[in-house]
Structure 1
Amino acid sequence: MVKRAGRRLVVLATVPAAAFLALGISGPALADSGKAYQIDLAQLNNSGSRGTVMLNLKGNQLTVRIESEGMVPGQPSAQHLHGSTKGHDFHCPDASDDTDRDGVLSNTEATKDYGDINISLTTSGDTKATSGLAVDRMPVADRKGKVSYQRTITVGQDVVDHIKDLHVVQHGIDRNKNDKYDFEGAGKSELDPKLPQEATAPTNCGEVKGAAVGSIPVGGIETGGGSSQSQALPVAIMAGAALVVYAATAGGIAVARKRVAEVSGRSQTPGGAA
Structure 2
Amino acid sequence: MTAPRTARLTTLIVLPAALCLAAAIPAAAHPGHSAGKAADGSESYQVDLEQLNDSGAHGTAMLTLDGRELNVKIDASGLVPGQPHAQHLHGSTDGHDFHCPDASADKNGDGIVTTAEGLPVYGDINISLTTKGDTSKKSGLDVTRMPVADKDGKLSYERTLTVSQQVADHIKDLHVVQHGIDPNGNDKYDFGKGKSELDPKLPQEATAPASCGMVAGAAVGSMPVGGVETGSGGTQGVESPGLFAAGGAALLGAAALGVTARRRRTAATDTH
Compared CA separation, residues 44 and 92, structure 1 to 2 (3 A): same
The answer to whether 1:196 aligns with 2:203 is yes
Match of 2:80 among 52, 72, 81: 72
Match of 2:187 among 161, 179, 182: 179
Compared CA separation, residues 178 and 158, structure 1 to 2 (3 A): same
Note the aligned Cα RMSD (angstroms): 4.2
User: What aligned pairs does 1:207-246 form with structure 2 within 5 A after superposition?
Assistant: 207-208=214-215, 209=217
d(CA) in 1 for partners of 2:174, 2:43: 15
The answer to whether 1:62 aligns with 2:70 is yes
Match of 1:82 among 83, 90, 101: 90
Displacement, 1:213? 8.4
CA contact (8 A) 1:36 1:212 kept: no
- Report the AA paired with residue 74 of structure 1: G
d(CA) in 2 for partners of 1:97, 1:59: 35
Unmatched tracts of structure 2, length 5 or more: 1-36, 219-231, 236-272
Unmatched tracts of structure 1, length 5 or more: 1-28, 215-274
d(CA) in 1 for partners of 2:119, 2:132: 25
Runs of 4 or more consecutive aligned structure 1 residues displaced over 4 Å after TM superposition: 210-214
Residue of structure 1 in register with 2:136 after alignment: 128
d(CA) in 1 for partners of 2:50, 2:158: 19
When normalised by structure 1's length, the TM-score is 0.67
User: What aligned pairs does 1:1-274 form with structure 2 within 5 A after superposition?
Assistant: 30-183=38-191, 185-208=192-215, 209=217
Displacement, 1:99? 0.9
Displacement, 1:140? 0.5
**Percent identity at matched positions?**
66
d(CA) in 1 for partners of 2:123, 2:65: 21
Q: Which moved more, 1:139-148 or 1:95-104?
A: 95-104
- Total equivalences in the alignment: 238
Q: Could you report, residue by residue, the CA deviation over 1:69-120 in whole angstroms, capped at 9, with x for unpaired residues? A: 1100010010000000000011111111111112221100100100100000
When normalised by structure 2's length, the TM-score is 0.68
- Report the AA paired with residue 195 of structure 1: L
SS of alignment partner, residue 214 of structure 2: strand
- Report the AA paired with residue 69 of structure 1: S
Q: Could you report, residue by residue, the CA deviation over 1:15-40 in whole angstroms, capped at 9, with x for unpaired residues? A: xxxxxxxxxxxxxx943241111111
CA contact (8 A) 1:44 1:94 kept: yes
d(CA) in 2 for partners of 1:167, 1:55: 10
SS of alignment partner, residue 168 of structure 2: helix
d(CA) in 2 for partners of 1:93, 1:68: 19
Q: Could you report, residue by residue, the CA deviation over 1:215-241 in whole angstroms, capped at 9, with x for unpaired residues? A: xxxxxxxxxxxxxxxxxxxxxxxxxxx
Compared CA separation, residues 99 and 63, structure 1 to 2 (3 A): same
